Chains A and B, each alone.
Chain A
Amino acid sequence: MEDLKQKLKVQIIEALNLQDTRPEDIDDNAPLFGEGLGLDSIDSLELMVLLERHYHIKVEDPREGRKILQSVASMAEFIQSKQTA
């Protein structure tokens, strides 16, 4: 799980071109949107693309997406639940 979170942080930084952010700057449980990293709804679409391209998980409903993409921790949990399912 820790490895997955670490990997996710690197992938998020790359996908969203967060140039001045390092993986250790991202708290596992901090909100990605709004205050946290200051991401917006287009970023959330890009993160869903990340899930699809790297983990082959397709999120159909944007409303569902919002829950999954709350934090790195929630993303990691979702990925794990899909992979073990």
Chain B
Amino acid sequence: MKGKCYIQGMAAISPQHTFEGDSSAQPMVAGSSNMLSCVEPDYRTFIPANSLRRMSRMLKIGLTTALKCMQDSGIAVPGAIVTGTGKGSLQDTERFIKEIRDYEERALNPTPFIQSTYNAVNGLIALQQKCTQYNNTFVHRGFSFENALLDSMLLLHEGAENVLAGAFEEITGEHFYIKSRIGQWKSETVPNNALHEHFSPGTISGEGAAFFLLDAKPSDKSYAAIAGMKTLYKPSPEKPGTALQQFLQQHGLSMPDVDLVLTGSNADSNYDFYYDVLDGMLQLPFKHLCGEYDTASAFALWLGAKMVKEQQVPAQWFPMLQQQPAQLKNVLIYNHFFGEQHTFMLLQSI
């Protein structure tokens, strides 16, 4: 997709202190299990108590991140709302499956069913902000946020004033166990701050939400430009290399022009080889901060945009950083989800 868009506001709830205060001053949060959970804010300052009482965790995380992003951008009603989520509200899905069994299909409370629908967060954002415009939700593993971003770029191209684009994901103990049965997580316990020292099959799980207010035009407030995105579905081992060259070329760049690559490298020996195409480029991994999940690329985008805006890498989150890059003009993100859905995103300074 050609055509730039600009990040005019953003917010993230993640396993790090990314939501409140000066996130750059916050130390890295280190967990003690292979399941990273979000640092959750006090939702009452964002959501009326009467609405909050029924909401499950995913809805609160998603809605609050969206609202904070709107606040940050200074826009109350966006021109469209587009999101991505791989799994939606897992807690509600799990709860409804169990209630069907426990109450033998009788006297069921509808709330978990309603909230388990993948577009529930979108509906809530629209409802709370009274946004009657275009509204869409993508649910496709490592392409969920990517398609939301593509849709947003199309909307801006079609003339939408601005778009609220975001992603949200949660992990539950039960779902962590389910995915452990197909080997997604490391069998040994690895604290997130030591993730990259444990190269072995599997990774650590995570969760989070990130939202962006996107505009076709830049302003003084712009964090960064999203210059382009490319997705690859189940590529052959050679494909990412040639696709990366082409992607950079389309934007008038070659590998040395990229100041920094944020890589989805997650110490998973099954799929890490794809990242070899980045050899020779300055790279920093990010999944020790957020864990692995369907929409982790949204966290990477938040992180990259923050760095571009501040022209600095938050050193306390990257102990592997040897020296600050001279400049952060072109920042590339390369992420894939268990080797199946691959994404390149290019961020540029304004």
Contacts and interface: CB of A to CB of B under 8 A. Distances in A.
Interface of A: 16-20, 38, 42, 45-46, 49, 52-53, 58
Contact of B49 (A20, A52, A58): A20
B54 interface: yes
Given A19-B53, A49-B108, 7 more contacts: A16-B53, A17-B54, A42-B54, A42-B110, A45-B110, A46-B111, A52-B107
Contacts of B53: 16-19
Chain B interface, DSSP helix/strand/loop, else mixed: loop
Contacts, number: 27
A33 B111 CA distance: 17
Interface in B74-102: none
27 contacts: A16-B53, A16-B54, A17-B53, A17-B54, A18-B53, A19-B49, A19-B53, A20-B49, A38-B50, A42-B54, A42-B110, A42-B111, A42-B114, A45-B109, A45-B110, A46-B109, A46-B110, A46-B111, A49-B107, A49-B108, A49-B109, A49-B110, A52-B106, A52-B107, A53-B103, A53-B107, A58-B107
A56 to B, nearest CB: 9
A50 to B, nearest CB: 9
A26 B106 CA distance: 29
A34 B111 CA distance: 19
Contacts of A58: 107
Nearest to B103: A53
A38 B103 CA distance: 28
A61 to B, nearest CB: 16
B116 to A, nearest CB: 14
A40 to B, nearest CB: 9
Most buried by B among A45, A49, A52, A53: A49
B112 to A, nearest CB: 11
A46 B107 CA distance: 9
Contacts of B110: 42, 45-46, 49
A19 B53 CA distance: 7
A6 to B, nearest CB: 21
Nearest to A52: B107
Interface string B222-261: 0000000000000000000000000000000000000000
Nearest to A54: B107
